[in-house]
Structure 1
Amino acid sequence: MVTLYLFCVVVSIYAYIGPLYLNTLRAMLLVLVIPLGVRLLLGHFGRLIITDALFVAFFLWSVVALAVNNPEAVVQQSGSTGAEFLGGYFVGRAYIRSRGAFLALCRQLALWVIFLVPFGIIEAKTGNPGIPNLIRQLTSLQSVPDVNIPGRMGLNRVQNAFTHPIHYGLFCSVAFSLNFIALKGETGTLWRWISSMLISLGCLLALSSGALLALMMQIGLIGWSVVLRKVAWRWWLLVGLLVLAYIAIDLLSNRTPIRVFLSYATFSAHTAYWRSLIFEYGFQNALDNPLFGIGMKDWVRPSWMYGDSMDNFWLVIAVRFGFPAAILIIVGYLYVLLKVIFRNLQTDPELWKIRQAWVLSFVGLTFTLCTVHIWSNVYSFVIFMFASGVWLIYEPVRSAEKPAEDAAPNAPPNRPRHLPFSRFSA
């Protein structure tokens, strides 16, 4: 099922099914969302957590907000976005619930990114997205449109099989830590390095500051972990340094720390300034409509701000559905992330490695979502990848096995690894 899900994320074929205009992913999730939701509530996919309730509540609140603001579009919008959001979450909760399943996901995701790189290289030179054009030529069906965004640094921005170059870059960036860290020891060292470089190339081809920010944050955090691997409190040290840097910038700079951050997280000063304006006026829209937001209506801004895009996923949620919706999704998101981060896994090197890969991927993604907006397939994919780490909260921790030469001379033979976690163990 996960293989089919990833295929539908990448190969997006659009067609009319009755009065509905659906793509492959939405059609799949519309079929799965109710059965998987019922099974999740019945406890078939592990114990329920507070995020399950918060995410369902977020969806229900978004439906109410749409009914208030756009009653004519509530069925279509809530059905499509609900399938993408809850469907992606339920698929991740249902089918990624063990170490083996998670590592298989990491392998498949890395292979998909590598498969897309040659198409990306061709598109960077020609400007023609290969897979969508191929779908349109071979069938009478449709695929994602060619967005034809102006290039950067003499290259075309690559959207590949996705609706926007930002989405392609994000798709690649999510795979980096999962390939480089989680698959350490699972694949050959040479292939792990080569595949990680190809994944990085995919991020670069998108020429998206958001994707590059996620990639560079992951590389920086990996480097920090390696250099200070003998320092147990290295992550608290990093948090302290970041807080100190924020205070110093606030005191010494004539710009706010957020604007300074944006200036380094974007390709140009113009882009940084524009995004700071988007945040300023977008947040004012949320303050003016705090309960149900503005729905699918256009947001209020000066006439000279001609574009209607809002490059901040978290802000879009607050503006579109109100602060309650934003609080529900952010609290649910942080609950899982913090529970996984603060779990003690020192005695289980394999689980510790998997946890580090997933956390680094989502730390980078969390900051990136402050500078980009996601929708359609990548929206569902991000929620799916988030749900694929929930099992880390309650997975049994294994004790590191001692080498044979360290065992006592008269010690009994080792028991099978699964017995200590059996309900019948001593």
Structure 2
Amino acid sequence: MTIARAKSRTVFGVPVPVACFLFAIMLPTAVSLNLGGLRLSAYRLVLLVMFVPMLSQLLSNQRGRMHIFDGLVLAHCGWALLALIKWGGLAQGIESGGIYVIECAGAYLMGRLYIRSYEDFAAMTRAYVGLVLATLVFTVPEALTGNHILHDSLAAVFGGPKAAYIEPRMGIERTFGPFDHPILYGVFSASAFSLAYFVIAERKLSKFGNLSKVAGVGLATFMSASGGPYVVLMAQMFVCTWERVLGAVQGRWAALFSFFAIVYFGIDLLSNRTPFHVFVEYLTFSKESAYNRILIFEYGTAEVARHPLFGIGLGDWIRPVWMSDSMDNFWLVTAVRYGLPALFLQVGLLFGIVWVVGQMPNFSPAWRRARHAWAFTLFGISVAAATVHLWNALFVLFFFLIGTGAWMLDTSPREHRNKRHRPVTLLAARPARLF
């Protein structure tokens, strides 16, 4: 059966819902509506308005047939909803869990349903990178003066608080941009690196325009002066270099994973500390920060061991009285709040969709670059998520980016060239070399 690609109105080539979503995540949380105890930020409003239409389109196969990864997202959200109901009762659980479903599944569906071709993906990339570069107009002066221009100006208009004071690093003020914390701005900026390098620059940095865009993303990341965003950037640069040097070598990705495994077990055997301790210490700015993350991991995993099935919801976790309640580990937060099944479903979604897309054969050079850009972006965020928590705009951005690669499962390059869009099922896809 042939399923015609659903057409979307666009703004500069970007589907209107995606354009609204990207604009919304650029607004601080002060730009929000408060309904009782419920805060509806700009991106929440966009996802709330679009959620039922998107779910209807998914279930009716209007934008590609449903597949296992759609099921994993919905199952993860369903489990998190059950965990929150168990924690707070039916009314509180539905209120908190409903917002989680809107943010997680809604953001995924935004990317999954409205990025349906290489052209959509490229247009989204240009818009995303353009937003990152546009923030430099504000964040470079912010880093030099300490005046949080975008955040504080928008917060003042909508009656929100000013940006909190954070100590400078490396001789510059840590920039917020329009976000609520420098880490959020930094991860947002760093996540555009592979997109700029592979899709916009097409791996060619000899032209000034291409080089300036890629370098601009790096500069925006640097302005945050935050370790987590630097990890996102460095992880992407590492795998980009690996691909550049060994692009013609078969089995290069299996070799890379083997290299990671050897390094991990080598550290485990030769060091009196665990690989996690070594990783955290060398990828954070201070010993105090590294020590705090190690304690978070130890007390957090103990909490998971006590509540492995449904977690503790939004309840408080056991820790020394002098420790903050902030848990700087996205993966650990998921397990602590919603239990190990929610974490396994989340990890299964991420690694499963990247693996299956990596096995899709006969991609054109442009499609391979798009695949690299998408997979390397998710790789960078996933590595950094072990040392930072993704919250607010960064949480929805992460799931949106996961969804933006699903078009590669549904349409083959040959069908795309012939303007036919019959989806390719996972069982029909022949294995090929990874990426």
TM-score calculated relative to the size of structure 2: 0.87
TM superposition shift of 1:94: 1.4
Corresponding residue for 2:117? 98
> What is the letter of the counterpart of residue 351 of structure 2?
L
Query: Which of residues 291, 312, 316 in structure 1 aligns to 2:329?
Result: 312
In structure 1, the gaps of 5 or more residues are 400-415
Show the 5 A alignment for 1:14-413.
14-16=31-33, 18-19=35-36, 20-71=38-89, 73-137=92-156, 139=157, 141-143=158-160, 145-185=162-202, 189-304=207-322, 306-345=323-362, 348-398=364-414
Relative to structure 1, the CA distance from residue 18 to residue 236 in structure 2 (aligned partners, 3 Å threshold; closer, same or farther) is closer
SS in 2 for 1:371: coil
> What is the letter of the counterpart of residue 293 of structure 2?
R
Residue 20 of structure 2 is aligned to residue 4 of structure 1? yes
In structure 2, distance between residues paired with 1:190 and 1:284: 51
In structure 2, distance between residues paired with 1:251 and 1:17: 53
> What is the letter of the counterpart of residue 8 of structure 1?
A
In structure 2, distance between residues paired with 1:356 and 1:75: 38
Contact 2:139 2:175 (8 Å CA) reproduced: yes
In structure 2, distance between residues paired with 1:419 and 1:26: 35
Deviations 1:56-87 (A, max 9, x none): 12212212211111236324322322221121
Relative to structure 1, the CA distance from residue 67 to residue 254 in structure 2 (aligned partners, 3 Å threshold; closer, same or farther) is same
> What is the letter of the counterpart of residue 57 of structure 1?
A
TM superposition shift of 1:218: 1.1
> What is the letter of the counterpart of residue 190 of structure 1?
F
In structure 2, distance between residues paired with 1:221 and 1:393: 23
SS in 2 for 1:74: helix
Deviations 1:377-406 (A, max 9, x none): 21111111110011112320349xxxxxxx
In structure 2, the gaps of 5 or more residues are 1-16, 424-435
In structure 2, distance between residues paired with 1:310 and 1:133: 26
> What is the letter of the counterpart of residue 387 of structure 2?
T
Larger Rg: 1
TM superposition shift of 1:242: 1.9
SS in 2 for 1:158: coil
TM superposition shift of 1:144: 6.9
TM superposition shift of 1:331: 1.2
In structure 1, distance between residues paired with 2:150 and 2:102: 24
SS in 2 for 1:70: helix
Contact 2:284 2:290 (8 Å CA) reproduced: yes
Identity %: 34
> What is the letter of the counterpart of residue 22 of structure 2?
L
In structure 2, distance between residues paired with 1:55 and 1:161: 29
TM superposition shift of 1:127: 2.5
Relative to structure 1, the CA distance from residue 302 to residue 21 in structure 2 (aligned partners, 3 Å threshold; closer, same or farther) is closer
Relative to structure 1, the CA distance from residue 421 to residue 17 in structure 2 (aligned partners, 3 Å threshold; closer, same or farther) is closer
Corresponding residue for 1:402? none
Contact 1:15 1:23 (8 Å CA) reproduced: yes
Deviations 1:189-230 (A, max 9, x none): 321110111110111111111110110111121112222233
Aligned residues: 403
In structure 2, distance between residues paired with 1:147 and 1:73: 30
In structure 2, distance between residues paired with 1:106 and 1:144: 32
Contact 1:278 1:310 (8 Å CA) reproduced: yes
Contact 1:84 1:377 (8 Å CA) reproduced: no
Contact 1:132 1:144 (8 Å CA) reproduced: no
Larger CA deviation: 379-388 vs 73-82:
73-82
> What is the letter of the counterpart of residue 175 of structure 1?
A
In structure 1, distance between residues paired with 2:57 and 2:211: 39
Relative to structure 1, the CA distance from residue 120 to residue 294 in structure 2 (aligned partners, 3 Å threshold; closer, same or farther) is same
Corresponding residue for 1:411? none
In structure 2, distance between residues paired with 1:186 and 1:3: 26
Contact 1:2 1:95 (8 Å CA) reproduced: yes
Relative to structure 1, the CA distance from residue 266 to residue 74 in structure 2 (aligned partners, 3 Å threshold; closer, same or farther) is same
> What is the letter of the counterpart of residue 365 of structure 2?
P
Larger CA deviation: 14-23 vs 47-56:
14-23
In structure 2, distance between residues paired with 1:147 and 1:338: 41
> What is the letter of the counterpart of residue 359 of structure 1?
A
TM superposition shift of 1:18: 4.5
TM-score calculated relative to the size of structure 1: 0.89
In structure 1, distance between residues paired with 2:419 and 2:335: 48
SS in 2 for 1:297: coil
Contact 1:56 1:86 (8 Å CA) reproduced: yes
